[in-house]
Amino acid sequence: MDWQTRARAIFSVLLVGFLVLVVVVRHEHREALHERWQAWIPIVYAILAALACFASLAGGRPLRMAASAVFLAGTLVGPIGLYLHIDGQVDRLGSVLAQEAIVAHADEEGEESEGRSLVGKSEEPAPPPLAPLAFAGLSAVGLLVSWPGGRRRAPAGEP
């Protein structure tokens, strides 16, 4: 498989990944979208990243350079989302490694749902602290594939 075919396959997988993130994050942030403007950041970024993947599939060096800028921004969206998910309290990252209790929560209609929270810390389930790093990971892959000059030409006779 030559480099361009491999790059197109990777951009296609990234395109699907970012589109799935648009749907999932829109669903998970449905309440926060009305309360905080920051909840829109991952949705807007995932749409931009999907467009960057599509542009990269269309080809052309200028489009890939623009996509690189979008993917570079995505490597910042992930850590910013991590910071927002832990409310700036780094010690909350320990809950990822510590054993957590699964707490049942009842909504207004009395239906139960399971949510993860630290016992005694909060009655609401906390947002998953590492979930925003999915944006950084997908963006890093896109950046590696789209970065200008990242492809070397194989000498004659090499695959």
| pLDDT single digits (tens) 74-115 | 999 999 999 998 887 777 777 676 755 555 556 666 665 555
Q: Burial of 26 by CB count in 10 Å (0-12 exposed, 13-18 middle, 19+ buried)? A: middle
Pairwise CA distance, residues 128 & 125, whole Å: 9
Handedness of CA 52, 54, 57, 60 (dihedral sign): negative
Determine contact, residues 134/21, Cβ cutoff 8 Å.
Answer: yes
Rg, the chain, Cα only: 19
The C-alpha torsion from 38 through 40 and 41 to 44, rounded to 10°, is -160
With residue 72 as reference, give the H or E element that holds it: helix 61-85
Residue 120 has a pLDDT of 43
Any idea where the domains of the chain sit in the sequence? 3-86+129-146, 90-127
Residue 119 has a pLDDT of 43
Residue 102 has a pLDDT of 53
Residue 150 has a pLDDT of 52
With residue 106 as reference, give the H or E element that holds it: strand 101-106
Pairwise CA distance, residues 26 & 43, whole Å: 7
Per-run averaged pLDDT (10 residues), the chain, 159 residues: 88 96 92 90 96 89 90 94 86 69 59 51 71 94 84 50
Residue 117 has a pLDDT of 47
